Amino acid sequence: MTRPTGTGSAWGSLVAGLASLTTLPVAIYLTRFSDSYDLLHAGFAIPVGAGLGLLSVILARRSRRQAALRLGRGGRDWPARLGYWLGLVGIGLAAAGLVAVAVYGLLEYAGTR
């Protein structure tokens, strides 16, 4: 049985979505083991998580568009659907991290005045 063409985008979307979802928590967790890497430095992982989430959404849409062109032959688009939702959650997590860093910066600024 041969694998239908175009499923690479679906699986790529799933992998990018998982990476997007885990980028920020892993960056925060790694701050526990370093003396020179503070919690605020984990904020540099925000654009990485957002970029991976966006990549996941784009790949999922590409895969679903290719599946529609095949008129549903080859079926199984669950990796693309799951990758799409994981990408959206990853983007949301990155947005929440951005808000947290912005509020921290605002409080630091207000505290020094």
Question: 66-97 pLDDT, tens per residue?
Answer: 888 877 665 578 899 999 999 999 999 999 99
Average pLDDT over residues 14-25: 96
Full-model pTM: 0.86
| Nearest Cα to Cα of residue 97 among 19, 25, 14, 16 | 25
Regarding predicted confidence, which is higher, 45 or 2?
45
Q: Is 76 exposed, middle or buried (0-12, 13-18, 19+ CB in 10 A)?
A: exposed
In sequence order, the 6+-apart residues with CB closer than 8 A to the CB of 67 are: 6, 74, 77, 80
